[in-house]
Structure 1
Amino acid sequence: MKPEDLERLLTVEMPYGKYKGRCIADLPGPYLGWFAREGFPKGDIGRLLALMHEIDHNDLGELLVPLRKRR
């Protein structure tokens, strides 16, 4: 993980699927869990989804609070 990845979770939008257009940081936990079970997509989106899943699964959402306040 790069430090700027946390910021990108708040700016990169899901490009497809049920939650298309929603920023990755706002995706629901069960949706992230589905990706964890079925496999994350290749590339940058998959890497960010995996990071968000780890944050959500380990209840570390507070990491994003200061970044959200800056927006």
Structure 2
Amino acid sequence: MDLTPDRQKLIELAHYRMPFGKFKGRYLVDLPEPYLIWFKQKGYPEGKLGHLLESMTEIKINGLEPIIRKIQKDFPRRF
């Protein structure tokens, strides 16, 4: 079992923005932890967004946001 993080997926996670709701447009790392916990309790959306929200919940619960912020800085999004 390979536990090495996928670089491209982490970069995508660092730059992904919430597509709907009260926090529409915010980076997932900037979502309040209680909001992510609410999703964890009620159920994440289907598909890619759900997987990203679930990952971000674990990152925030474990205090690993600085890693995501470093990725945002070191790998700026190119449009």
TM-score (norm 1): 0.85
1:44 aligns with 2:48: yes
**Where does structure 2 lack aligned partners over 5 or more consecutive residues?**
none
Deviation of the 1:9 alpha carbon: 2.0
Render the CA deviation track for 1:42-67: whole Å, top value 9, x for unaligned.
00000000000000011111221321
Count of equivalent residues:
71
Identical amino acids, percent of aligned pairs:
41
Structure 2 residue 23 is matched with structure 1 residue 19 = yes
Partner of 1:28: 32
Deviation at 1:68, TM superposition (A): 2.4
Please state whether the residue corresponding to 1:34 is helix, strand or coil. helix
Q: Which runs of 4+ in 1 moved over 4 A?
A: none
Verify: 1:59 aligned to 2:63, yes or no.
Answer: yes
Separation in 2, partners of 1:12, 1:64: 11
Q: Choose 1 or 2 for highest CA Rg.
A: 2
Q: Distance in 1 between matches of 2:66 and 2:27?
A: 16
Any conservation in 2 of the 1:5–1:48 contact (CA below 8 Å)? no
Partners of 1:34 and 1:63 in 2: CA distance: 23
